[in-house]
Chains A and B, each alone.
Chain A
Amino acid sequence: MSLLREAVLAELGIPRWRVRPGIAFPGGPVQDRGEAPCLPRVDPSAGAACGGDVTVAQAPSEPQVVDILLQAEAATAAEVELLARMAEAVRGLRPGLRVATAAFADSSLQGRVSVRLDGAGLPSLAAMVADPALKRPVWQALKDAVARLP
């Protein structure tokens, strides 16, 4: 890649890894396949290589680890609010407890102890909003979860 082209890309804020060999950059010279930049492979298992579409595998970020992770799907404002209050109530059980909430698919967080509110083992947020009496077994499960922590 020419220095001029690299400078233009940088000015436009376009990262190098988006450059595809053989595709002309507007206003720039036509790039031959042979010119394709060979970027270092970050993760060999990700299969990034020279030639064809060039990609740089993102280094997998380590999930943040908390003491208690509440996993639930909150679809309405009432459910979001209830989940926040549950986290706050759990924090009150032990000083310094790190408590977080996450959707089921969210892998950026990991709990030393996780409590899943999916309607199978424990009632879902929607079920608790509809029937507040269901909070009782959930609260017991949360207290048990805290007790399992060292």
Chain B
Amino acid sequence: MSSAFETLRIRPWRASDIGPIAAIERQAYPFPWPEGVLLDCFEAGHHGWVAGERGGRVAAYAIVQPIIDEAHLLNICTAPDWQGQGVGRGMLRWVMSACRELGMQRMLLEVRASNLPALHLYRSEGFTEDGVRKGYYPASGGREDAILMSRFLNA
């Protein structure tokens, strides 16, 4: 299946990506990650990848915390003007493949219960629900549940 993702270049993230990623966070989410959190992830050695245009503008990114043989997908996001073109799915598949190459056996994530497009994407890519973390995310009406999902990477 051809998608806009195939036109993008993927590379490991670097410190200079923190600013552009934070800008996309602010565009894409009502409760974006602040730059400090992104920087903490970078300095902690978490894996991160950005998919960008040839001109260098970031179109999507993903951040993974490795825990021995498990990949915790902390953040995956597509810039608003690249959404709806298969970039998120392409990025997710690419990240799963990269983590498999790094020797990780399983990928885990959590997603807002109200984020139906993301839930649909994860289910269609083989993730199954492991549980619910009550009131995990801040939300405009108070707190929102997180759905915990995982899948084995060798399946």
Contact = CB atoms under 8 A, between A and B. Distances in A.
A85 B105 CA distance: 9
A127 to B, nearest CB: 13
A138 B106 CA distance: 17
B102 A86 contact: no
A121 B102 CA distance: 28
Interface size classification for chain B: 10 to 19
Contacts, number: 29
Contacts of B103: 85, 88-89, 92
Contacts of A93: 45
Interface in B97-128: 102-103, 105-106
B52 interface: no
A135 interface: yes
Interface centre among A89, A93, A138, A142 (most CB of B within 10 A): A89
A139 B105 CA distance: 15
A132 interface: yes
B149 to A, nearest CB: 14
B66 interface: yes
B105 A135 contact: no
Interface residues of A, number: 13
Contacts of B69: 82, 85-86, 89, 135
Contact of B66 (A82, A89, A138): A89
Contacts of B70: 132, 135
Contacts of A138: 68
B1 interface: no
Interface in B28-78: 45, 66-70
Interface string A10-53: 00000000000000000000000000000000000000000000
B67 A136 contact: yes
A85 B102 contact: no
A46 B45 CA distance: 51
A101 B87 CA distance: 42
Contacts of A88: 103
Interface in A60-88: 82, 85-86, 88
A68 B21 CA distance: 36
A138 to B, nearest CB: 7
26 contacts: A82-B68, A82-B69, A85-B68, A85-B69, A85-B105, A86-B68, A86-B69, A88-B103, A89-B66, A89-B68, A89-B69, A89-B103, A92-B66, A92-B102, A92-B103, A93-B45, A132-B106, A135-B67, A135-B69, A135-B70, A136-B67, A138-B68, A139-B66, A139-B67, A139-B68, A142-B68
